[in-house]
Amino acid sequence: MVSMTVELRNVEDTRAAMGWAGGHTIIVDRPEGKAGGMGLGFNGGQLLALAIGGCFCNDLRYVAEEMGVTLDKIAVTVTLNLEGKPLLATSSTMAVSCTTLDGSDPAEIITRAAAISTVSNSLRQGVPVSIETAATTAGLSEE
């Protein structure tokens, strides 16, 4: 089994959060004026759509390398549909196009990438999410 852990903490003097994994960071916020949001970063729905598309972009590269093909351009557009209260992601659609340096048809690369895509396949199968309370006092513990 492989495990990944990311961390998020509030950004001082804002109501946004900074998330990180290793040396990579990202700001998470709400649109300006929504629950104190300042529009400083991506919201959760955008991050989910980026995870779907970003994972697929990586998978295209993995598959192409495995097949001995070099990809030239990749274009992925993810549309995430949300409904209800609370707002839930109900579906997503990914439009994918790519070209190869040798001019070969990338259809098989796209098909194989869809078969191995971690995020898309995890969502399709309904990955369980558990929430545990880490702090029971007003302050958060430092690790």
Rounded Cα–Cα distance for residues 77 and 97 (Å): 9
Q: How confident is the model at residue 138 (pLDDT cuts 50, 70, 90)?
A: low
Give, in words, the CATH class of 43-125: alpha beta
Query: In the prediction, which pLDDT does 137 show?
Result: 54
| Nearest to 52, CA basis, from 27, 24, 81, 28 | 81
Q: Which pLDDT tens digit goes with each residue over 88-97?
A: 999 999 999 9
The model carries a pTM of 0.89
* pLDDT, mean of residues 34-40: 93
Q: How confident is the model at residue 136 (pLDDT cuts 50, 70, 90)?
A: low
Phi, psi of 116 (to 5 degrees): -110, 0
Q: Give the three-class secondary structure for 22.
A: coil
Q: How much of the chain is helix, strand and coil, in % rounded to 5? A: 30, 30, 40
